Amino acid sequence: MRPLDRLRSFKVKLGVLVAVSVCVAVVLTWLSLAADMHPLLTLPLVVIAALVVTQILARGMTSPLRQMTSAARAMARGDYSQRIETSSRDEVGELADAFTRMATELQTTDTVRRDLVANVSHELRTPVAGLRAQLENIVDGVTEPDPAALEVALTETERLSDLVDDLLDLSRIDAGVIDIDLEEFALTPFLHEAVDAADMGARARGRDLRWAIEVEPADLTATADAPRIRQVIANLLDNASRHSPPDGRVRVRAERTTRDDGVLIQVRDEGPGIARADRERVFERFQHGGGSDGSGGTGLGLAIARWAVELHGGTIEVIDDPRPRTDPDRSSVIRLTLPDMPR
């Protein structure tokens, strides 16, 4: 703690400084006059004494400013690690605190940006490499350009375009562009279509899953942006089918929410589920629950799903599994709610 650190205003600090220096000068002049000292000797003595007092009292008053200058230079070079250390409580101290908060914020943003670039390039590399290998084989005559070979190339291209779509969605999220087009649709045919599409995808991966759809009441409708919600359900079903045991059952249930006349859709599979500690993390971008789980996803699906549902004012979360499980901490029940939206 420095002498004037306790004062909350820079102006008051300066005032104290001036007052103390003046007092010291006056007292010294008075003493030297009383001691009959020559004025030519008194003057430098008084000036030196006033300077010493100023030095002592002003210690640390501007050091946060110097630290900030050096930190700002470091930030310009991309180093966000410098922190401003100060115990001062005046405006300079507040500025130093704000500066430190800004540096922390910038450091986080920078890390997220780096991670994003690294993740995106990594995710793009896999389908591009597959596509390239397949096309090279065809050009070199190693593979015949028959429908089967082209099918492989097409699958990789589809993966690429899905990924690009997801990335576009992410940039829309960041840009805050909100476009939802509300319509009322019946959930029974909607969920059947979604399940049919998911079943085709699962079969293409050699999985013969059982699907159960319950809509209560059967003519239940939702008012929402149907294509966006279809994308959300498609991702939930895709996740469920990828984490299910090969002959597992995936249940989709829709009902009216008791509180606000909205709808609630729940997807549950018989796979290992998501650990309690990962329940929030799986909704972050590029998060593959529990490390690499071999499901081969990008980790964008649930992040985009949460954004789409929240755009509707709804919620999406992993909820406790009502069935007895070997590990009660894990759950594969995802519940989304959509509030009743006036059109």
Ligand X SMILES: Nc1ncnc2c1ncn2[C@@H]1O[C@H](COP(=O)(O)OP(=O)(O)OP(=O)(O)O)[C@@H](O)[C@H]1O
Question: Which chain residues interact with ligand X by CB under 6 A?
Answer: 235, 239-240, 243, 269, 271, 273-274, 282, 287-290, 293, 295, 297-303, 332
Report the candidate in 51, 58, 48, 60 with the shortest Cα–Cα distance to residue 16: 58
HEC letters along the chain: CCCCCCCCCHHHHHHHHHHHHHHHHHHHHHHHHHCCCCHHHHHHHHHHHHHHHHHHHCCCCCHHHHHHHHHHHHHHCCCCCCCCCCCCCCHHHHHHHHHHHHHHHHHHHHHHHHHHHHHHHHHHHHHHHHHHHHHHHHHHCCCCCCHHHHHHHHHHHHHHHHHHHHHHHHHHHHHCCCCCCCEEEEHHHHHHHHHHHHHHHHHHCCCCCEEEEEEECCCCEEEECHHHHHHHHHHHHHHHHHHCCCCCEEEEEEEECCCCCCEEEEEECCCCCEEHHHCCHHHCCCCCCCCCCCCCCCCCHHHHHHHHHHHCCCEEEEECCCCCCCCCCEECEEEEEECCCCC
Choose the contact partner of 289 out of Mg ion, ligand X, none; CB within 5 to 8 A by kind.
ligand X
In angstroms, what is the minimal distance from the CB of 281 to ligand X?
8
| Closer residue to ligand X, CB minimum distance, 100 or 239 | 239
In angstroms, what is the minimal distance from the CB of 201 to Mg ion?
11
| Closer residue to Mg ion, CB minimum distance, 220 or 282 | 282
Instruction: For residue 340, give the amino acid letter.
Output: D
| Closer residue to Mg ion, CB minimum distance, 64 or 297 | 297
Print burial letters for 314-331: b (CB count within 10 Å at least 16), e (below 16): bebebeebeeeeeeeebb
| Closer residue to Mg ion, CB minimum distance, 82 or 126 | 126
Choose the contact partner of 298 out of Mg ion, ligand X, none; CB within 5 to 8 A by kind.
ligand X
In angstroms, what is the minimal distance from the CB of 300 to Mg ion?
8
| Closer residue to ligand X, CB minimum distance, 90 or 270 | 270
CB 155 within 8 A of CB 187: no
In angstroms, what is the minimal distance from the CB of 288 to Mg ion?
9
Choose the contact partner of 268 out of ligand X, Mg ion, none; CB within 5 to 8 A by kind.
none
| Closer residue to ligand X, CB minimum distance, 290 or 339 | 290
CB 60 within 8 A of CB 88: yes
Choose the contact partner of 229 out of ligand X, Mg ion, none; CB within 5 to 8 A by kind.
none
| Closer residue to Mg ion, CB minimum distance, 162 or 255 | 162
Choose the contact partner of 317 out of Mg ion, ligand X, none; CB within 5 to 8 A by kind.
none
In angstroms, what is the minimal distance from the CB of 242 to Mg ion?
7
Choose the contact partner of 201 out of Mg ion, ligand X, none; CB within 5 to 8 A by kind.
none
Choose the contact partner of 269 out of ligand X, Mg ion, none; CB within 5 to 8 A by kind.
ligand X
| Closer residue to Mg ion, CB minimum distance, 231 or 239 | 239
Choose the contact partner of 309 out of Mg ion, ligand X, none; CB within 5 to 8 A by kind.
none
In angstroms, what is the minimal distance from the CB of 335 to ligand X?
12
Contact residues toward Mg ion (CB under 5 A) are: 235, 239, 297, 301
In angstroms, what is the minimal distance from the CB of 274 to ligand X?
5
In angstroms, what is the minimal distance from the CB of 276 to ligand X?
13
